[in-house]
A and B are shown apart, each in its own frame.
Chain A
Amino acid sequence: MDLLNSLTLGFSVAVTWQNLIYCFLGVLMGTMVGVLPGLGPVTTVALLLPITFSLDPTSSLIMLAGIYYGAQYGGSTTAILVNLPGESSSVVTALDGYKLARKGRAGPALATAAIASFIAGTFSTLVVAGFAPMLGAVALKFGAAEYFSLIVFGLIASIILAQGSVLKALAMVVLGLLLGQVGTDVTSGVDRYTFGLSEMADGISFIALSMALFGIADVIINLQDKEQRSAGILENVGSLMPTRKDMRQTAPSIARGTVLGSLLGLLPGGGALLASFAAYTLERKVARKPREFGDGDIRGVAAPEAANNAGAQTSFIPMITLGLPANPVMAMMIGAMMIQGITPGPSVLRNQPDLVWGLIASMWIGNLMLLLLNLPLIRLWVALLKVPYSYMFPAIILFCCIGAYSVHNASFDVIMMAVLALAGFVLVKLKCEPAPLILGFILGPMLEENLRRALLISRGDFTIFLTKPISLVFLLVSLALLATILFPTVMEQRKRAMEV
């Protein structure tokens, strides 16, 4: 009954005219930007983040969440119609989705993606509603030592599950943690790494950093790609309705994708990306014959789409309950909360239940809006797909500039963004993924505060992290995860799973 009360509270917050409008605007704008070729959910959320600053905290989170799954869905549309997935999580959708589109079945593929996303969204919203309070209650018992070890675990787990070289990813996390140290140390009042600049006393602006890495640097890399990115756009969507056979065929796939995605979304570093890859792999193994994966099998669209939406949704759980971001988008949500003056963590659930439950309820409403919005507006999305990159990128740059400026109304932050973008560009060229850096950056201050508190309680005794059982478990699991790096077989598996 508690759950029912909480959900009632949530809907009473989410179903106000104001929040419904912001949810709708979020979903609409998220889809509009997410549909643009080459713009993934991370970039979309970064670009649209500044628009939410002036709203109250609940509305701004509702809108951001809407932007996130809107962008996710927009990315799938692009993947199906142009074979240009904006982000790695819709790579899998492109495999079969684009083939279906070429066979003239773009409509059913898009409709299946929308329906699968909606079903998965509904289920995973319930998972979030069920799990979040439980996890939140446990998290409230965590002391500083447990929290420190949890953060260490979260950071390490997110690396293992991410792409690319593990050593480099580790180094990027540590670099992010160090960048998070810039600014005035809250405890001692000492200015660290500010070069005597008063503008740096608040630290590096999170918005400037994320826009530099996911906006500007991304633009530079895209511009350097010589080949024109507009492949054949399939304009003829045809009939949207999936056939009865499609529905019968995809129902089990949607169910499998939903469950798998919900589970994988909970893992740090998991979220939508891992979920869609895993769902596709699973589907290829267990789906009934005839299997035509890679050649336009509608189940190859249904399962990953269900999984990535479910994963995107459940990745909110660690963010809401623990204040731990599982992926860069969640890191940005936390950044947005901090700009609103909320410290993410278990206390939010206790002190501001209306905010948390309003957000959860809005997830379902947002998914419903997506379903109702996307199919009728498909012509608009197709039109947007045709915007050439030459017109798009100057606008992206302008948005980033305004966004970086608007946080503190400081031109200094814009200059900072230019410097960070250059650094981000170099790092990408050195094959260092920027995502771990963002996670480290957002968790740096939390890590320091909990380390400091834990050691203060234990009077400088480091064994406190080993004598508290929960803390010990987190550290042991982290160690075990790190150890797997030494065994190449696991890494091979990981690589194969990513390649499909």
Chain B
Amino acid sequence: MLRQTDFISGCVFVLLGLFFGLGAIQYRLGTPAHMGAGFLPLALATVLVLLGAAIVAKSLLRQSESIEWGSVLPVAIVVGSVVLFAATLRQAGFAGASFLTVLAASFARPSVGWIQRLVLALFCSVVATIIFIELLGLPIPVWPLFVSG
């Protein structure tokens, strides 16, 4: 049961519906003629809970595919490298953050050599800096703080 896509997704929708529904009743509901901020969210959340329940009910009647989560490593490395970009952008500058992000992300495929990783990171960093800073003029400092002061 706990490994079935339909059962779990139904549960997820019910929980999300409850989350949005409980949030919605904190806001003013208002009347139909003067809808408050909570009116539509509450209605939609109710529908989501019902749909989730229907999906769960259907999954009890008929087996669905079981979930294949796959390996955790790519998930962690990819999401981690995105967070790394956000975390290092101020300190390392645009070029530095780009370099670090690409380098970190490349580890999601273990079969690549160190030199290739470094070259790839350098290449991406230079190209991205040319496109986004030079050509498109994004207002971000390019160099790390310790260089630009």
Contacts and interface: CB of A to CB of B under 8 A. Distances in A.
Contacts, number: 192
A417 B82 contact: yes
B58 A192 contact: no
Interface in A389-431: 389-391, 393-395, 397-402, 405-406, 409, 411-412, 414-415, 417-418, 421-422, 425-427, 429-431
A193 B44 CA distance: 14
Contacts of B27: 185, 188, 190, 192
Contact of B67 (A219, A422, A430, A448): A430
Contacts of B5: 429-431
Contacts of B55: 165, 167-168, 171
B2 interface: no
9 contacts: A174-B51, A177-B44, A178-B16, A220-B75, A394-B121, A402-B132, A411-B90, A431-B5, A451-B40
B71 interface: yes
B65 A418 contact: no
Interface residues of B, number: 70
Interface string A30-66: 0000000000000000000011011000000000000
B83 A193 contact: no
B101 A398 contact: yes
Contacts of A193: 20, 23, 41
Contact of A397 (B44, B65, B101): B101
A399 to B, nearest CB: 8
A30 to B, nearest CB: 15
A219 B78 contact: yes
A398 B40 contact: no
B117 to A, nearest CB: 9
B101 A391 contact: no
A94 interface: no
Interface string B85-124: 1110110000000100111011011011000100011001
B138 interface: yes
Contacts of A165: 6, 55
A221 to B, nearest CB: 8
A398 B102 contact: yes
Interface stretch (A326-334, A346-354, A454-462): A454-462
Given A167-B54, A193-B20, A398 B48 contact: no
Given A178-B44, A192-B27, A429-B67, A223 B78 contact: yes
Secondary structure dominating the interface of B = helix
A152 B89 CA distance: 42
Contact of B137 (A54, A391, A401): A54
The 10 A-B residue pairs whose C-beta atoms are closest, nearest first, are A460-B33, A224-B70, A460-B32, A414-B86, A223-B74, A190-B37, A430-B9, A394-B105, A401-B85, A411-B86
Contact of B78 (A216, A427, A458): A216
Contacts of A406: 132, 138
Secondary structure dominating the interface of A = helix
Contacts of A409: 138-140
Contacts of B132: 50, 402, 406
B78 A170 contact: no
Given A192-B27, A429-B68, 19 more contacts: A167-B54, A168-B6, A185-B37, A190-B36, A216-B78, A223-B109, A394-B81, A394-B105, A394-B120, A401-B82, A405-B85, A405-B89, A406-B132, A412-B86, A414-B82, A427-B9, A448-B35, A455-B33, A460-B31
Interface size class of A (residues with CB under 8 A): 35 or more
A247 B102 CA distance: 47
B35 A452 contact: yes
A432 interface: yes
B147 interface: no
B17 to A, nearest CB: 8
A301 B125 CA distance: 39
B79 interface: yes
Contacts of A431: 5-6, 9, 64-65
Contacts of B41: 178, 181, 192-193
